[in-house]
A and B are shown apart, each in its own frame.
Chain A
Amino acid sequence: MRVMRDADETFLTLVRENEARLRKICRVYASDADAEKDLYQDILVQLWRALPSFEGSSRPGTWLYRVALNTALAQKRQRATRESATIDESNPIWRNPIPAPDESLESKQRLERLYAAIARLDDVDKAVVMMYLDEKSHREIAEVLGITESYVGVKLHRIRKEMTAWLAGEAA
């Protein structure tokens, strides 16, 4: 019983501390708002199922990114080979956020532009740039993706150049 409560608490803390991050991953990889909700629910279920391996994890951030990213890409692959995805319209895990009164229109537009620029990248580069924006180190990015740190550097160099051009270009 105590073990169960510990697992519940670990899971809830994990979700509480990373909810915004998980939603960003959903927004980047989902094709529309319904798919976003579906993916969010799927990621939570997979985090719960993978929780036993979290206990031994030395880097919780890396673990979370791995599970969330792998779930997002797996769901995308499944959708690609399915005619249509099943969306739970009444999905209660996700409630649409209500904008805060002080959220500026300009900030919203800038975010839209940022997401539009990320959407132009391929699936792996999207993951790299999300972790870069989250200020993850080259080492952490390499651990999530399973590539070398120096190759992360090469990828980031190219992605930053592309993103800079796109973000500047869209402002013109």
Chain B
Amino acid sequence: MAGGRSGMNLEDARREWQSQTTLENSRMSEAEMLELVKHSSSAFARTIARRDRRETIAAIVVMILFLPLLATGPWLARAGVLVVLGAFALIFTKLGAARRLEASERLDLSLAELLESERTKVNGQIRLLESVVSWYIIPPAAGAMLIVIGLEGLSWFTAGYALFALAISLWVYRLNQHAVRRELRPRRSELERLIHELKG
């Protein structure tokens, strides 16, 4: 800092702080501001609605693809279809619940309440991704495996498919654990740092 400046006490600081005003020439018109804020807000709602629509369509496509097999396939393949449909229902339910919780964010809470609620959410997300094998990977993979065995029997094709499914499952698992390490754990640490700063 350059020398020769006069000192400032907290009362001076208060006066300086309160003397700051927003100049008229720095403002946009109120009508423009309202339009932009409404547009940004509805864009967020549209994004959520689009994602929900995409997932519903995906669920319908899965049903359409698998239902004929359920009616006419061998019993093992039929059992596999049931497992796949059940697995998709489980996945949609779990993801839907997690997203509803995420979207329930209320920014008018006190900082302490908000941080605690976010920490709970992040812990839930970490648990969800760490247990991805049990609800996201094994159920649909097991169902698909039953379908392949039901249709092809124990063959080289079935063995090849099993290896392929295993590779995909490992890749999906690693992706999820990467997200936990790179995004969720740092976010939780940041929340814990803030809670510590707040509560001492």
The residue from B28, B34, B36, B111 contacting A66, defined by CB atoms under 8 A apart: B111
**Contact present for A133 and B17 (CB under 8 Å):** yes
Give complex CA distance A97, B20 in Å.
11
Cβ of A127 under 8 Å from chain B: yes
Question: Residues of A contacting B22 with CB < 8 Å?
Answer: 19-20, 23, 97
Give complex CA distance A154, B199 in Å.
11
**Contact present for B114 and A70 (CB under 8 Å):** yes
Cβ of A172 under 8 Å from chain B: yes
Cβ of A123 under 8 Å from chain B: yes
**Contact present for B107 and A71 (CB under 8 Å):** yes
Question: Residues of B contacting A45 with CB < 8 Å?
Answer: 37, 40-41, 44
**Could you give, for residues 41-83 of chain B, a 1 whenever the CB lies within 8 Å of some chain A CB and a 0 otherwise?**
1001000000000000000000000000000000000000000
**Contact present for A145 and B190 (CB under 8 Å):** no
Within 8 A of B (CB), among A71-113: 71, 73-74, 77, 80-81, 92-98, 100, 107, 109-111, 113
Given known A-B contacts A97-B25, A98-B25, A109-B5, A49 and B41 have beta carbons under 8 A apart: yes
Question: Residues of B contacting A19 with CB < 8 Å?
Answer: 22, 27
* CB within 8 Å: A-B pair count: 167
The residue from A20, A67, A154 contacting B21, defined by CB atoms under 8 A apart: A20
By the criterion of a CB under 8 Å from any partner CB, how many residues of chain B are at the interface? 53
Instruction: Decide if the interface of chain A is mainly helix, strand, loop or mixed.
Output: helix
Cβ of A164 under 8 Å from chain B: yes
**Contact present for B111 and A127 (CB under 8 Å):** yes
Cβ of A134 under 8 Å from chain B: yes
Cβ of A33 under 8 Å from chain B: no
**Could you give, for residues 143-172 of chain A, a 1 whenever the CB lies within 8 Å of some chain B CB and a 0 otherwise?**
111110001001100001001100110111
Q: Which of B6-14, B134-142, B146-154 contacts A (4 or more CB under 8 A)?
A: B6-14
Give complex CA distance A77, B109 in Å.
17
Given known A-B contacts A73-B111, A146-B113, A167 and B7 have beta carbons under 8 A apart: yes
Residues of A within 8 A of B (CB): 8, 11-12, 15-16, 19-20, 23-24, 41, 44-46, 48-50, 53-54, 57, 63, 66-67, 69-71, 73-74, 77, 80-81, 92-98, 100, 107, 109-111, 113-114, 117, 122-125, 127, 132-135, 143-147, 151, 154-155, 160, 163-164, 167-168, 170-172
Residues of B within 8 A of A (CB): 1, 3, 5-10, 12-14, 16-23, 25-28, 30, 32-34, 36-38, 40-41, 44, 106-114, 182-183, 186-187, 190-191, 194, 197-200
